[in-house]
Chain A
Amino acid sequence: MDFEKITELVIELEVDDIAKAISEALDEEKDPFEILDALTKGMDEVGRRYEEKEYYLTELVLAGETMKEAFKVLQPAIKAADRAEKKVKVILCTVKGDNHDIGKNILASLLLSAGFEIYDLGMDVNADIIVEKVKETGATILGLSSLLTMTVDEIKVVHEALKAAGLRNKVKLIVGGAPLNMELAKKLGADDYADDAVEGVKHVKKLAGMIK
């Protein structure tokens, strides 16, 4: 299994074939980190096609599903290889009261393939659980999604809870969701806002100091 083939499977959204391809590559004793690079190249191309309007939300979702299948096989091999690489830790979730996780899931897949260490807390998450996870993991970036006007104030609740725990200056808070914009995000205490998941990756990289 060559790396180009793995990249192509991601680009072509071959969700049913990717796990087998990764297994074959690992059986052939290919370096798991090079396999990860091949996946990342595929996701970069998916992102490019999204920006060029060749791909749309459904393709991003399917690319996310493809990555999920790939990581089920690849993750243990990466952990076993343990190169003690220091990855940037990112916590993601939707805020309390919000059950819309499509955008959050896409962002998780894109960030994973971009080399971040992701802690996905899921949907409808209480501020105290988020604070606890920031403390436990030492994550430096927190991404919150809120698709409902009714739940955007939860961003402020999380911001305040982080402050009260003395963690606010240790973690960058980025938010996304239909009712939000940069102005409102800042008003609610966030450091940054992104329009969609593809933009979100660029913003997270900036927050992590990886790009300017």
Chain B
Amino acid sequence: MDCRERVLTALNLEEPDRVPCHTILIDANNVDEILGKPQITDFDTVAKIRKENPNSWAEELTNLLESVETSVFSRCVEAAAKIGLDCMQVGIIPYYFFDDPNDKRLLLKDYFGRVWEVKNNKNNFNPYYLYGTLRLENWEEVKKNIEGTLTEKYSKIAKRFYKRINKKHKDKIFVAITNDYLGTFESASQGMGMGYYAKMLHKNPKFIKEVYKVFATFTKDLYMSFMDAGAELFIESGDLAYHTGPMMNPKYYDEFLLPAYKIITDAVHERGGKIVLHSDGQITPLLDFIVNCNFDGLHSLEPTANVDLALIKKKVGDKLCLLGNIDVSHVLVNGTKQEVYDAVKFAIKTAGPGGGFIVSAANMHPAVKVQNLKWMIEATKKFGEYPLKI
């Protein structure tokens, strides 16, 4: 089987030739380690443009974002293929740079209201969410922009972006699409900031429902453009739970989020695609909700949030392909080869039988080590062949 067949077979809840291996990203510092550092770094470009355009640098940099994002994700896919992953995901993020005279930090804003600080990760961009600016008062303007200009602009960008990356790498790796940073739930909660979001959830739930719907429709439109360019697999970025449980009362997920997610999942399925939900945290209380949203898979299964992989497999293993479970707080950061091997063996033994499982790092961040990722892939190939022998 090639990478694409292997991944899609697992997503069809069948046994491929072996368990596939995936990560949601490889951070740019690790991509540099795998491929070598590019001659010109992101921050070199920022410095040059700021110097040459003291008054309009933010606009100039924003104009470069599409090519920067394409290049960053293309290198990420290349690095993933080089170390032997079967699947890597890519996605465009509708950011723009902005110049706040009272803030010396390099700031990005997205069209959903979030403000990010671009931190320097060994000369690579690393955006960190700071706060949200979406309010009831500016919602009509935000909505109008998303439904009009933004959908039109990013639908075109999406096609170019995926075609360029997939054409270059499709023979070596299966390239999926993610809306990381654009997920319906997190765009709403972070776009408003958690305090305002919590208030609106209680005082004005109709507003929350509408925001979800508009964001989900934007995601759906983007996904359709990606599908026009050949994409088949999507990973919806969710983060619906935290360390000890769901962010909200489960009834809100069913009432508000389910109809929004169905806009996306129905559209993807209508055209024969597959869609996986990514969520960190203790997700177990939301399993029925995830199934009812018609997702094909669930990613993360975070061991540090005490997610019980055996229980998840038992409860929804016949309905959802499971992806993840390899710890990124210790195992893939400071773990020994034996610890990485043990984590992979445990995951395959627990969730691999019968198919419908993909080994994956539970998340990704710059402190994950390339060597540990290589051990994860090595162990998957060693112990993941069907019929399983562990």
Contacts and interface: CB of A to CB of B under 8 A. Distances in A.
Interface in B293-334: 304-305, 328-330, 333
A84 B154 CA distance: 61
Q: Which of A13, A59, A61 has the most CB of B within 10 A?
A: A61
Label chain A's interface by main secondary structure.
loop
A196 B244 contact: yes
30 contacts: A13-B202, A15-B199, A56-B246, A56-B248, A57-B247, A57-B248, A58-B194, A58-B201, A58-B247, A58-B249, A58-B252, A61-B194, A61-B198, A62-B201, A65-B195, A65-B198, A65-B199, A99-B117, A99-B128, A99-B130, A105-B195, A148-B365, A149-B365, A150-B365, A150-B366, A178-B280, A178-B304, A184-B330, A195-B244, A196-B244
Contacts of A125: none
A179 B198 contact: no
Interface in A39-58: 53, 55-58
Contacts of B291: none
A61 B195 contact: yes
A57 B240 CA distance: 11
B198 A62 contact: yes
Given A59-B249, A178-B280, 20 more contacts: A13-B202, A16-B203, A53-B245, A55-B249, A56-B246, A57-B245, A58-B194, A58-B197, A58-B201, A58-B247, A58-B248, A58-B252, A61-B198, A62-B195, A105-B195, A178-B242, A178-B304, A181-B304, A196-B243, A196-B244
A59 B130 CA distance: 21
A105 B194 CA distance: 11
A178 B280 CA distance: 10
Contact of B367 (A55, A62, A64, A149): A149
Contacts of B139: none
A102 interface: yes
Label chain B's interface by main secondary structure.
mixed
Interface residues of A, number: 27
A149 B329 contact: yes
Q: Which of A13, A57, A152 has the most CB of B within 10 A?
A: A57
Interface string B109-132: 000000001000000000011100
A211 B328 CA distance: 36
B192 to A, nearest CB: 11
Contacts of B117: 99
B181 to A, nearest CB: 15
A16 B203 CA distance: 10
B365 A57 contact: no
A65 B243 CA distance: 21
Interface of B: 117, 128-130, 194-195, 197-199, 201-203, 242-249, 252, 280-281, 304-305, 328-330, 333, 365-367
Given A149-B329, A178-B304, A179-B304, A62 B202 contact: yes
Please provide the 8 A-B residue pairs with the shortest distance between their CB atoms, ordered closest to farther: A179-B329, A62-B198, A58-B198, A61-B198, A150-B367, A178-B243, A58-B248, A57-B247
Nearest to B249: A56
Interface in A194-212: 195-196
Contacts of B365: 148-150
Contacts of A99: 117, 128-130
A172 B305 CA distance: 26
Contacts of B249: 55-56, 58-59
B130 A56 contact: no
A137 B202 CA distance: 38
Contacts of A152: 329
B275 to A, nearest CB: 25
Contacts of A181: 304
A99 B119 CA distance: 12
B242 A57 contact: yes
Contacts of A15: 199
A56 B245 contact: yes
A212 B244 CA distance: 24
B340 to A, nearest CB: 15
B329 A56 contact: no
B106 to A, nearest CB: 14
